[in-house]
Structure 1
Amino acid sequence: MTVHRHPSCGCCGGWVQHMRQAGFPVNVVNVDDVMTPKRRLGVPDTQASCHTTEVAGYVVEGHVPAGDIQRLLRERPAARGLVLPGMPLGSPGMEVADGRRQAYTVQLLGHDGRLSTFQHHPASAGKRSPAR
């Protein structure tokens, strides 16, 4: 997989580490203009995140979990790829110490630009600190 990201983005580095831990070989391409690869690969502006990835003929936008990408590659749907706009708290690369996670939904981006739910990830309250 090839990840296009701005060199100063820390959360992108966390996502790359998540991909490598899942067994993906990752080539990182640092770009000053992150919109250029998004536009070239057909990512709608409304679905943009901080990094854009190319893998096996698909585009993956944002902090999509490795398991969702593995499923995409297993199922091989006729689509442009997966998108997760923004940077949801608790998604890969956006983890917080207490384990909290916002609910987020990874969307399948069709060749016609239509979006459909690919995988929903529920919210998690995280670990509570022990009472003192």
Structure 2
Amino acid sequence: MKLPLTTLITTGLLLTTGIAHAEAMEARLYKDPNCGCCVEYARLMEEHGYQVESIDVANLGQVKQQAGIPYGEGACHTIELDGYVIEGHVPFAAIDRLLEERPHVDGIGLAGMPIGTPGMPGPKTEDWVVKTFNDGDASPWMTF
């Protein structure tokens, strides 16, 4: 059976953008109840194809500690996604790469709240260094 070219192109685009695997994935986003940028990041995740459950918590520090986020690498929200921890306003290209390559790490993160990252208003003003987390240690992984 021959598939129409538009079907082949659409399928190829879905596979190369990572959206195909994202559609079925559920994410839990732990955040402060008053954080607007976390709400925006959750909305962008949903646009990217994830099903997001936002969970308001009073003590994010405890969530981060239980998730194994190294000291100094925290941000305003912590996400559980398909066995990984995603910390902060991580660009979706990094999440796509994580889920495609499946490295043996606990997760990835972007410390702080850098301006211009997904969910954060304003123009990009600096390089963003996404790090991997493993056993409480952080290592640079991708730069945007």
Residue 107 of structure 1 aligns with which residue? 131
Aligned CA RMSD, in angstroms, stands at 1.2
In the TM superposition, what are the counterparts of 1:12-31 in structure 2 within 5 Å?
Answer: 12-31=38-57
TM-score (norm 2): 0.77
SS in 2 for 1:45: coil
1:29 to partner: Cα distance = 0.5
What's the % identity of the aligned pairs? 37
In the TM superposition, what are the counterparts of 1:1-132 in structure 2 within 5 Å?
Answer: 1-96=27-122, 99-110=123-134, 112-121=135-144
SS in 2 for 1:46: coil
1:19-43 residue CA offsets vs partner (Å, 9 max, x unmatched): 1111111011011111111111111
Q: Distance in 2 between matches of 1:4 and 1:52?
A: 5
- For structure 1, the 5+ residue unaligned runs are 122-132
Counterpart of 1:44, as a letter, is P
1:44 to partner: Cα distance = 1.6
8 Å contact kept, 1:105–1:120: yes
8 Å contact kept, 2:75–2:113: yes
Change (3 A) 1:101 1:19: farther
1:75 to partner: Cα distance = 0.5
1:100 to partner: Cα distance = 3.5
Q: Distance in 1 between matches of 2:114 and 2:88?
A: 9
Q: Distance in 2 between matches of 1:73 and 1:117?
A: 17
For the pair shown, the structure with the greater C-alpha radius of gyration is: 2
SS in 2 for 1:26: strand
| Matched pairs, number | 118
